Amino acid sequence: MSEYKTLVELIEARKNEEQKAITFILNDTKELYVSYKQMYQTSLRLLYAFQQFGYKQGDEVIFQIDDNERFVYSFWACILGGMIPVPVATGNNDEHKLKLFKIWSILNNPRIIISTELLETLDPFAKENGLSSQMEAIRKNAINVDDAIQTEKYGDIYYPNPEDIAFIQFSSGSTGDPKGVMITHKNVFVNLNSVLKWDHIDSKDSGFCWLPLTHDMGLIGFHIKELLSGINQYCMPTHLFLSNPILWIQKVSEHKATLLYSPNFGFKEVLKHYNPEVKQDWDLTNIRIMYNGAEPTSLEVNNEFLDKMAAYGLKRNSMKPVYGLAEATIAVAFPKLGEEFFHYTLDRNHLKVGETVVDTTKEDISAAIYLDVGYPIYDCYMRICDEANNDIGENKIGYVQISGENVTSGYYNNKQATDETITPDGWLNTGDLGFMRSGRVTITGRAKDVIFVAGQNFYSHDIERIGEAAGGIEFSKIVAVGVFSERLKCDELILFIRYTESLESFMPIAATLKKAISQKNGIEVSAVIPVKDIPKTASGKIQRFKLRESYTNGEFALIKQQMNALKDEEFNRREIVQPVTPSQKELVRIWSEVLDNDHIGINDDFFELGGDSLKVTQINSRVREIFKVELNLTDIFENSEIESLARVIEAAVQSQS
CA–CA gap between residue 637 and residue 392 (Å, rounded): 49
The widest CA-to-CA distance across the chain, in whole angstroms, is 72
Q: Distance between CA atoms of 112 and 135, rounded to whole angstroms?
A: 11
Q: What is the pLDDT of residues 447-469, one digit of tens each?
A: 766 677 766 667 677 688 788 87
Per DSSP, what are the bridge partners of residue 23?
33, 234
3-state helix, strand and coil shares in percent for the chain, rounded to the nearest 5: 40, 20, 35
DSSP state at residue 219: I
> Closest Cα partner for 343 from 440, 253, 210?
440
Amino acid at 519: Q
Smallest CA-to-CA distance from 555 within 586, 532, 587 is with: 532
pLDDT digits (tens, 9 = 90+) for 498-555: 999 999 999 999 988 988 888 777 788 889 999 998 887 544 567 888 898 899 888 9
3-class SS at 150? Answer: coil
Q: Alpha-carbon distance 399 to 328, whole Å?
A: 15
Compute the residue count for the chain: 657
Least confident of 65-79, 396-410, 623-637: 623-637
**Arithmetic mean of pLDDT, 459-480:** 79
* Mean pLDDT of the 90-94 span: 78
Dihedral of the alpha carbons of 517, 614, 649, 596, in degrees to the nearest 10: -90
Count Cα neighbours of 551 within 13 Å in the Cβ-side half-sphere: 25
Q: Which of 35-39, 170-174, 260-264 has the lowest mean pLDDT?
A: 170-174
> DSSP character for 440?
E
In 524-654 the beta strands, taken as DSSP E runs, fall at 525-531
Backbone dihedral angles phi then psi of residue 517, each to the nearest 5 degrees: -70, -35
Cα–Cα distance measured from residue 18 to residue 317, given in angstroms and rounded to the nearest whole number: 33
pLDDT 10s digits, 120-148: 889 999 999 999 999 999 999 999 977 77
Residue 527 and residue 341: Cα distance in Å, rounded?
A: 34
Taken in order of first residue, the domains within the chain and their CATH numbers are 7-243 (3.40.50.12780), 327-446 (2.30.38.10), 457-573 (3.30.300.30), 582-656 (1.10.1200.10)
Do 320 and 335 touch, CB atoms closer than 8 A?
yes
Closest CA to 107 of 39, 166, 58: 58
What does the mean pLDDT of the chain come to?
Answer: 90
* pLDDT band (50, 70, 90) for residue 352: confident
Tell me the HSE value of 173 on the side-chain side, using a 13 A CA sphere: 18
- Residues with Cβ within 8 Å of 537's Cβ and at least 6 positions away in sequence, in order, are 543
Burial class from Cβ neighbours inside 10 Å (0-12, 13-18, 19+) for residue 529 reads buried
Residue 340 · residue 411 · CB < 8 Å: no
User: Which of 37-46, 53-62, 164-173, 641-650 is least confident?
Assistant: 164-173
Q: How does strand 478-485 pair with strand 490-498?
A: antiparallel
Tell which phi-psi region holds residue 596, choosing left (phi > 0), alpha (psi between -120 and 50) or beta.
left
For 68, residues 6+ apart whose C-beta sits below 8 A from its C-beta are: 24, 213, 235, 237
Confidence of residue 11 (pLDDT cuts 50, 70, 90): very high
Cα–Cα distance for residue pair 154/159, rounded to 1 Å: 15
> Is the CB of residue 631 less than 8 Å from the CB of residue 649?
yes
DSSP state of 215: S
Confidence (pLDDT) at 173 = 53
pLDDT tens column, 20-44: 999 999 999 999 999 999 999 999 9
Of the candidates 441, 410, 440, which has an alpha carbon nearest to the alpha carbon of residue 423? 410
Q: Please tell me the predicted confidence (pLDDT) of residue 232.
A: 98
Q: Under a CB-based contact definition with an 8 Å cutoff, are residues 233 and 209 in contact?
A: yes
Q: Per residue in 644-655, pLDDT tens?
A: 999 999 998 888
pLDDT 10s digits, 295-309: 778 888 899 999 999
Identify which of 653, 499, 515, 483 has the alpha carbon closest to the alpha carbon of residue 581. 653
H-assigned helices in 107-200: 116-128, 132-140, 145-148, 185-198
* Per-residue model confidence as pLDDT tens digits over 372-419: 999 999 999 999 999 999 999 999 999 999 999 999 999 999 999 999
Q: What pLDDT is recorded for position 296?
A: 77
The pLDDT score that the predictor gives to residue 455 is: 64
Amino acid occupying residue 195:
V
Q: What's the pLDDT at 172? A: 55
Q: What is the pLDDT of residue 541?
A: 62
Give the separation between CA 187 and CA 198, rounded to whole angstroms: 17
Which pLDDT score, from 0 to 100, does residue 3 have?
A: 85
Residue 482 in this model has a pLDDT that exceeds 80? yes
- Tens digits of per-residue pLDDT, 208-259? 999 999 999 999 999 999 999 999 999 999 999 989 999 999 999 999 999 9
181/169 Cα distance (integer angstroms): 5
CB–CB of 178/169 below 8 Å? no
Model pLDDT, residue 539: 45
